[in-house]
Amino acid sequence: MQEAKTVEETNETVATVADAPAGETPTSDAGTKGNERGFGNRRGGDRNDRRNPRRPRRGGGREARVRPEFDQKIISIRRVTRVMAGGRRFSFSVAMVIGDKKGRVGVGIGKAGDTQLAIEKAVRDAKKHMITVPMDEHSRIAHDVEKKLSASRVMIMPAPGRGLVAGSSARTVLEMAGVKDVTAKLLSRSKNKLNNARATIEALKLLKA
Residue 18 lies inside a defined structural domain of this protein: no
Burial of 167 (0-12, 13-18, 19+ CB in 10 A): exposed
**What's the domain count of the chain?**
1
Chain segment 74-83, per-residue pLDDT in tens:
999 999 999 9
CATH code of the domain containing 188: 3.30.160.20
Say whether pLDDT at 15 is over 90: no
Chain segment 127-149, per-residue pLDDT in tens:
999 999 999 888 899 899 999 99
Residue 105 lies inside a defined structural domain of this protein: yes
Domain residues for the domain of 109 are 71-205
Q: What percent of the chain has pLDDT over 70?
A: 69
CB 134 within 8 A of CB 207: yes
Residue 60 lies inside a defined structural domain of this protein: no
Say whether pLDDT at 61 is over 50: yes
Residue 134 lies inside a defined structural domain of this protein: yes
Residue 135 lies inside a defined structural domain of this protein: yes
Say whether pLDDT at 67 is over 60: yes
Residue 57 lies inside a defined structural domain of this protein: no
Residue 191 lies inside a defined structural domain of this protein: yes
The pTM for the full model equals: 0.65
C-alpha 106/C-alpha 71 separation (Å) is 11
Chain segment 150-164, per-residue pLDDT in tens:
999 999 999 998 999
Residue 31 lies inside a defined structural domain of this protein: no
Cβ-proximal residues to 128 (8 Å cutoff; 6+ apart), any chain = 106, 108
Chain segment 175-201, per-residue pLDDT in tens:
999 999 999 999 999 999 999 999 999
C-alpha 20/C-alpha 113 separation (Å) is 87
